[in-house]
Amino acid sequence: MRQLIPLCIPLMLTACGSSNEQSQPVPDPTPPPATAPVDISIVFNEGAGTWSAGFSDYPITDADIYELVAQLAPLPSDNSMQGFRLKGSNRSDDLFMFLKTEVTELQPSTRYQLSGSLTFLSNAGVGCVGIGGAPGESVFVKVGASEIEPAQVDYYLNVDKGNQSEPGNDALMVGDVAASEADCSGNVFAEKTIEIELENGFEVQTSQSGSIWIFVGTDSGYEGVADLYYTSIDLSLSPV
């Protein structure tokens, strides 16, 4: 009796294999959405890290008369500790002194809510009288963010920080430098912490490469010397 060769079987197996290959899922090249907050924290007693300083809203050619200081320095209240000191004489009635850092490896073109806190030492007491404004309540603290690096261009800052107490498109006014335990002599430095609650935070958007510049600083309406020692900055970027 002749044996029949099942020629159709290999064809059927080939067809089955082809069907399995076509059913494999195609990888999605889009990165998953950001879900966890990203922390930006620095304690200046341990060094400046990636933070650097800048000034704006003053004529660069007259920088000497502004008595600008930007450096890590021993704290006036404790020489064994250090902070990032920013000092300037506000002869332009609009001096902006700030610290900045770049945050990378974020989701590209994504909205984040900026919140957190910053702590500094101030020698400006509450309710003191000064030229053009109070040395405490007229030196406004701002927190901001931008896709481009904040820097002085000619006279002004190249991002919109607003003017004195007014916020800008790239910055939020979060308080002032009046410290309750300082006095009006200018000789006593006291610690102050400003909190930025999440619900009152500042909404920002990252660049196409997933980075953003964060800056904190003071916009002064007091026509005198502002002298601050930043001790820590603890911010968070929460996906919107």
44 belongs to a structural domain: yes
Q: Rounded to the nearest 5°, which phi and psi values hold at 14?
A: -65, -40
Query: In this predicted model, what pLDDT tens digit does every residue of 38-47 receive, in sequence order?
Result: 999 999 999 9
8 belongs to a structural domain: no
Query: In this predicted model, what pLDDT tens digit does every residue of 108-164 receive, in sequence order?
Result: 999 999 999 999 999 999 999 998 899 999 999 999 999 999 999 999 999 999 999
Residue 52: closest CA among 67, 61, 42:
42
Q: Which domain range does residue 97 map to?
A: 33-239
How large is the average pLDDT for residues 210-236?
A: 97
Mean model confidence pLDDT for the chain: 88
Query: What's the pLDDT score for residue 154?
Result: 92
54 belongs to a structural domain: yes
For residue 148, what is the domain's CATH number? 2.60.120.260
Q: Rounded to the nearest 5°, which phi and psi values hold at 126?
A: -90, 135
231 belongs to a structural domain: yes
18 belongs to a structural domain: no
5 belongs to a structural domain: no
- Residue 187, pLDDT > 60, answer yes
Q: How many domains does the chain have?
A: 1
65 belongs to a structural domain: yes
